[in-house]
Every structure is written in structure tokens, then in C-alpha cells.
Amino acid sequence: MGRKLDPTQKVKRGPGRKARKQRGAEQELLRFLPPDPEDDARKLSSHARRRAAKRRIKAARPPAGKTAGALQDSPAPGEPLLKGAKKRAASQDGRPDGFSDDNAAWLTPSSAKQRPKPEESEEEAFSGSEGQEEPSESDGEEGSDDGMVDDYGALSSGDEELLPIERAAQEQKGQDLSEENSEEEDDDEDEEKEPPKQDETQETDLQLNPPDLQLIHQRIKDNIEVLQNFGTKREEGRSRQEYLTLLRQDLAMYYSYSDFLIGKMMELFPLSELVDFLESNEVSRPVTLRTNTLKTRRRDLAQALINRGVNLDPLGKWSKTGLVVYDSSVPIGATPEYLAGHYMLQGASSLLPVMALAPQENERILDMCCAPGGKTSYIAQLMKNTGVILANDSNVERLQSVVGNLHRLGVTNVVVSRCDGRQFPKVLGGFDRVLLDAPCSGTGVIAKDPTVKTNK
């Protein structure tokens, strides 16, 4: 039934016209063609590879009916128009037929983008009769890198082919770089033209020429001596305000204070006490702690801390519970005695308000600003956990430290509240004693925190 095909005689078909237009058509065509020995001689561009593949296809498949040799030899009137036109042109101009070195000059193409062709064969001439002149294979190999015109009408190189959008991006990038360089040059010129500010010039002068502190200190002493006896020691033509202004600047520079804070201290202290106060703030103060007599005695606490490598002494004759710590080999705020509530880290000056209050047992006492709880626990210690203490503070966050310290120290007669102190007579009254240690500016802790000098 029907003819049977012999698979051994089946001719393989190459890709059609549509497949050639797709990307990678030259790779698909190479599978059906004999290998070209000159393929590995030099790497071609994509356009040169397409043209070489087309030339090999046409050379392997001559046109049906007539070969290239028959077309060359037969002078029949039905020969192709191109060849007849070439013969007529040669007979009219008196030039020989075909392509040779003699007529290479008048065969040079008019376009500057195409290179002049060398001598080529009749087969290549016939293949170019379709309306597009194909360069020879040697031209594709040698001229693919130089002078090859791509699909966009620009010269393409074999190493890299840029699309118009890529070329435009490179140009835009170059323009941006040139603009940035010009802006930087303009900024440098503006900086050179702008004069430096006065503050900057003063800072640079201080860095290049640091002040002589000994000279400033001697000038402070001389100015204070003149101001104390201004009528007899002042220079003629200089007012008291000039001496005060110079003294204020020297004090701010020598002790590293802000001009505002030095001015306030000069209003508070007389000149004879001002320098003593500033000098006392430069001396570091030792750590002091208060013994919690609700749980231990000062002698036992001192012996336990000495055994742990703490160097301490009694605070003074005026205090029965205070201890001063000079140095310690262990963190003084993390010892077992501290965690057990045997002592409280507290400044010596904060003991004086409670001693002045002199609370008695079984009394009702109001501590209006209790945080962080050092004075409140000292009042409870003097009252021996009797009576009632109302610990109040308007800040909720600070009350957390108050509650923690009271639990650690074993205080049981304290009620913690958060109210405005101005409304206490209406909220709750009937107190025997009231302690108000109002929050202050914090300038008394300069010895512990030197940043206060410039922050205030």
C-alpha cells in the first residue's frame, strides 16, 4: 500500500527561510554544511558569520537547470540581464569584460563605508545578482573588525557591538561625569573665595596657638586682686566692667566652663569664694556609703568589705553610719553585702537633710520628692521601721528605683505614691514632718560629671 521510503536515501532538509531570520540561524545552518577549514583561522563577527554561511550554502547548491560554467560559456540571447549588461558596458566603454586589476579603479563603490573589492570569481558575481553585493569570504575575515557596517548603519567591531541605547547611555554617563567634575571645581573655587567665619578662625587659632594656662592663671589672680581693691589698684582709663569681662573669659577658658555658667556663678559667689568653688569641683570625690542599721552594724559591714579587698574608713565624727571608700578590688555596687541590703551608695551631703529633719519613731512623715529612695530609707532607718512614711514623686519612671531600693533594704513602713506635691494638703494631710529635697540644676555634681560644665 503506497510507496515505502528508504531512510538511507532520505535527504536531510535544512531550515527554511523563516528559521534563517531568527537568532542563531547561522549555528543551525553549520550543522548541514561541510566543515570549513578556515573557520578557526580567525574569529568573525556575527554579521560576517551570517554572510559566510550564506555563501557556502549557495556554493554547495548551484541553481537548478544550469551550472555556473554553462552560464559563463553560453552566449544565448536568454542569458541573465546582469551579465548581458556587463558585456554591453564593456563593449561600449572599450574596457575588458569581468573584474581585473585594470578596471579596479572605476569599479570602486561610491559609499565611503564599503571597502574596494578585490578580484572575485563568476560564482560570487552571480550570487550578488540578487540585488545585494556580498563581500568575499576573505573580506569578511579581514574586514569584519574594521569598517563592518551593522544593521543600524554604524561601524561595528568584532570584539564588542553596542546597541544605540547602550551607546546613548555611555554618552550620558560621560556627560554626568564631566558635570560632576565641573561642579566640584566650582565648589572648590567658592570655598576659596568665601572668607572663614569668626568662630572657625578662633578655633583654628586656638589649635595652632594653644593658650598659656600659667599666664591665664596669673592674670586671674591679678584681676581678682584689682577688683577687691579697685579704687587703689586699678589702671587709669579702664572701667570695672572691663576687668569683669576679662576675668569671665579667663575663668571660662582656664576651667573649661561655658560662658553662661561662669556668669551665673559670678553672680552667686563673691570673688573671694569663686575660685575656691571652681577648684573644689576639679578634685574627684571619694565614694561614700551609708550603713543600713536595720540589717547590720557599721563595724561588721566595714570588716566584711575589708575582707573583700575594699579600702575604707569611717566618714567622720558627725555621722555614725557613713563610710568612705578610697579604692576597691571588687565592684562596690555588686558585692553580696550590697545585694543583701547591708548598705546604700549615697553621697555624704545627702545625709545632712535627714539629720536636720530629725525624724522620731511612730511619726507621720512626708517625703515629697523621694526618688531614688536614699533619704526615704534613711528616715525609715532612724524611725526603726515604725510610724508611716509617705514617699511621693511625680515621675513614674523614677519610682521604680524607689520601690527596688526599699525592698532590698528591708523597709516596711513606707507607702509610695505619685502625686503633685502642691495638692498634698487636699489629698492627704496630718504629717508631723515634711522633707522637700526639690530637684535642682545639678551643678553640684561637676566633680562626678564634668560634662555639666558645657551642658548648662
Report how far residue 391's alpha carbon sits from residue 371's, in angstroms, rounded to the nearest whole number.
Answer: 8
pLDDT digits (tens, 9 = 90+) for 397-454: 999 999 999 999 999 999 999 998 888 888 888 899 999 988 777 788 888 888 888 8
Tell me the mean pLDDT in the region 135-152: 45
What cell does 177 get?
A: 561625569
Contact 330, 310 (CB under 8 A): yes
Which residues are within 8 A (CB) of 414 and not within 5 positions of it... i.e. 6 or more apart? 376, 380, 389, 390, 391, 406
Q: How do beta strands 364-367 and 343-345 pair? A: unpaired
How many CB atoms neighbour CB 3 within 10 A?
5
**pTM of the predicted structure, to 2 decimals:** 0.51
pLDDT digits (tens, 9 = 90+) for 215-271: 998 999 998 999 888 888 888 888 889 999 999 999 999 999 999 999 999 999 998
What cell does 125 get?
A: 558575481
What cell does 234 get?
A: 586699678
Residue 47 has a pLDDT of 82
Q: Which of helix, strand or coil describes residue 288?
A: strand
Radius of gyration of the chain (CA): 53
The one-letter code for the residue type at 304 is A
* DSSP class per residue in 12-27: PP---HHHHHSTTHHH
Tell me the mean pLDDT in the region 344-362: 94
Tell me the mean pLDDT in the region 170-181: 82
Closest CA to 115 of 135, 88, 145: 135
pLDDT digits (tens, 9 = 90+) for 282-329: 988 889 999 999 999 999 999 999 999 999 999 989 999 999 999 999
Contact 325, 391 (CB under 8 A): no
Residue 284 has a pLDDT of 86
The helix, strand and coil proportions of the chain, stated in percent and rounded to the nearest 5, come to 50, 10, 45
Q: Which of helix, strand or coil describes residue 275?
A: helix
Bond into 372 cis (ω within 30): yes
For residues 315-341, b (16+ Cβ closer than 10 Å) or e, as one string? beeebebbbbbeebeeebeebebbeeb
Residue 200 has a pLDDT of 57
Residue 382 has a pLDDT of 96
Cα–Cα–Cα angle for 382, 385, 389, nearest 5°? 85
Residue 67 has a pLDDT of 47
Tell me the mean pLDDT in the region 14-22: 57
- With a cut of 60, say whether residue 64 has pLDDT above it: no
Report how far residue 444's alpha carbon sits from residue 281's, in angstroms, rounded to the nearest whole number.
Answer: 8
Report how far residue 373's alpha carbon sits from residue 209's, in angstroms, rounded to the nearest whole number.
Answer: 49
List the alpha helices (DSSP H) in 12-80: 17-21, 25-30, 46-60, 68-73
Which residue pairs from 275-283 have beta carbons closer than 8 angstroms and sit at least 24 positions apart in sequence? Answer: 275/220, 275/224, 278/251, 280/447, 281/255, 281/446, 281/447, 282/255, 282/447, 283/447
Which strands form 287-291's sheet, in the order they lie side by side? 310-314, 322-328, 287-291, 343-345
How far lies 402's CA from each of 12, 52, 288, 331, 360, in Å? 97, 94, 19, 22, 22
User: Phi-psi bin for 441: left (phi > 0), alpha (psi -120 to 50), beta?
Assistant: alpha
For residues 227-266, b (16+ Cβ closer than 10 Å) or e, as one string? eeeeeeeeeeeeeeeebeeebbebbbbbbebeeebbeebe
Between 378 and 109, the more confident residue is 378
Report how far residue 415's alpha carbon sits from residue 428's, in angstroms, rounded to the nearest whole number.
Answer: 12
Contact 374, 409 (CB under 8 A): no
